[in-house]
A = this chain, B = another copy of it.
Amino acid sequence: MMKLKATSVAVALVVAGSAWAAVAVRDEPIKPIEPAKVENAAKVELGKKLWFEPRLSMSGIISCNTCHNLSMGGTDNLKTSIGHGWKAGPVNSPTVYNSSLAIAQFWDGRAADLKEQAGGPIQAGVEMNMPHTLAVGILQSIPGYVEEFESVYGKNKIDIDMITDSIAEFEKTLVTPDSRFDKWLRGDDKALSEKELAGYTLFKESGCVACHNGPAAGGTSFQRMGVVEPYKSSSPAEGRSAVTGADADRFNFKVPTLRNVALTYPYFHDGEAATLEQAVDTMGRLQLGRTYSKDEIGQIVAFLKTLTGELPQIAMPVLPPSSNATPRPDPFK
């Protein structure tokens, strides 16, 4: 895709078959998702293998894809995830799709970027429970990986930085352009129904876009959960204050993306909102001091469902087999 900047609106030239069409992007607080640009296909392919690699977990059965299932909107659709030893995690697993567009990673933003994030769940006791040194040792014992890391990084010694770097590179390809809302943003008036458009207007005019803006319709700021009314939760998660130490940051969480939100139920950092209707109702009351009517909630939900984009086609990788020297998984450790 080529992109030209005009004075007031971005003008995109989109190739569709052999026909060219000039499309003005509407000036809205939510912007279209751009397709992924793959700069290093070999690194992405390696990262994809590691994304699906259960040998990065102590048990040998948990991979990144277990909790961020690419077949299910990049989530596990559980309130909180199940990890090593069947332990429940403390917060809801956010979607990996479009996560590259966020200002920081994790609900509390404790990782600056995807690369920094990727190392966390590997070693977390309630997730994959795998020390980084052992993860490296395992991959280093697998001839297929040694060869592939060498071809990508030019070294025959694998390190944890290469592992997280290639996983992040794969994750950057997990964007979901071409939702119906994006088609509308690019000028297709018929892409949204009247109800959906009414829902978007209400979403915008009642203030949701103050936080849910940008290409990901979220992910651009940290905000307090419970602005007008406090949010009641049994979750121990304190949010941003766990990172900054500042009391003012208590219960501040990264605003989640609304992209593919119809696929990423249940909602909120504690997964306590089972449906979109519940989530919209709670957000209206707690964040905006507004009680939406049933019809209004229906309109906003109809709009939210137009944010489901085209999920990338992912071919399952064939993982290189362990060697006799590879440390075996230990589910009960």
A residues with CB within 8 A of B: 52, 54-55, 59-61, 66, 69-73, 76-78, 81-82, 85-86, 88, 262-263, 265-266, 274-275, 277, 311, 313-319, 321-322, 324, 328-329, 331-332
Contact = CB atoms under 8 A, between A and B. Distances in A.
A69 to B, nearest CB: 7
Given A277-B324, A316-B71, A321-B263, A331 B61 contact: no
Contact of A82 (B73, B265, B274, B331): B331
16 contacts: A54-B72, A54-B76, A61-B82, A71-B318, A71-B319, A73-B321, A78-B331, A82-B331, A265-B321, A266-B328, A274-B324, A274-B328, A275-B324, A277-B324, A314-B315, A315-B316
A333 to B, nearest CB: 12
Given A311-B318, A316-B314, A321-B262, A52 B71 contact: yes
Most buried by B among A262, A315, A318: A318
A73 B316 CA distance: 12
Given A314-B316, A328-B274, A61 B78 contact: yes
Contacts of A321: 72-73, 262-263, 265
Most buried by B among A52, A81, A88: A52
A72 B85 CA distance: 22
Contacts of A71: 52, 316-319
A289 to B, nearest CB: 26
